[in-house]
Structure 1
């Protein structure tokens, strides 16, 4: 397994909510705004700000079949991208509570 795939999998495994993002991406920003609005605790990695970002993005395609960002995981389950997260906005608080990712 590649170092990038190991790193991506470690981020997914160690965080209740993981967002693989790019700092300039409007869809990524919309996802982070939604998570912030419900008080989610989440880990973000900005793939355009880390040296191995391109390799991690390729590794994510191997892991989830999705190459685009945002690439979102809740409770180690692949949620998808921004439109998938927005579609779950009604059940988001429940999902986040289940994985212990809601700020008290």
Structure 2
């Protein structure tokens, strides 16, 4: 499985939904809490091409986007192959 990195905040419902979806897929992920590490928010914005909302999800270095993007990828059948490609 490729490495998964997710920028989050503790009170974000979309972050929790993304974590639930990835956990249900059996995926391990690294989480960066940008509320606890404010300096990492600038890193997130740069890596996510200017997107400032959380979550921002990266799978194998590829920017997926937020929860809606992750969910759409799953519904289209693209998430499982991406997770298996690692």
Judge same fold: TM > 0.5, yes or no: yes
RMSD: 1.4
Higher helix share: 1
Q: After alignment, is 24-33 or 61-70 more displaced?
A: 61-70
Q: Say how many residue pairs are matched.
A: 82
Gapped regions of structure 2 (runs ≥ 5): none
Structure 2 length normalisation: TM-score?
0.86
* Alignment partner, residue 62 of structure 2: 77
Structure 1 length normalisation: TM-score?
0.72
Gapped regions of structure 1 (runs ≥ 5): 1-14, 100-104
The aligned runs of 1:1-104 (5 Å cut-off) are 16-49=3-36, 53-65=37-49, 66-89=51-74, 90-99=77-86
Shift of 1:61: 1.3
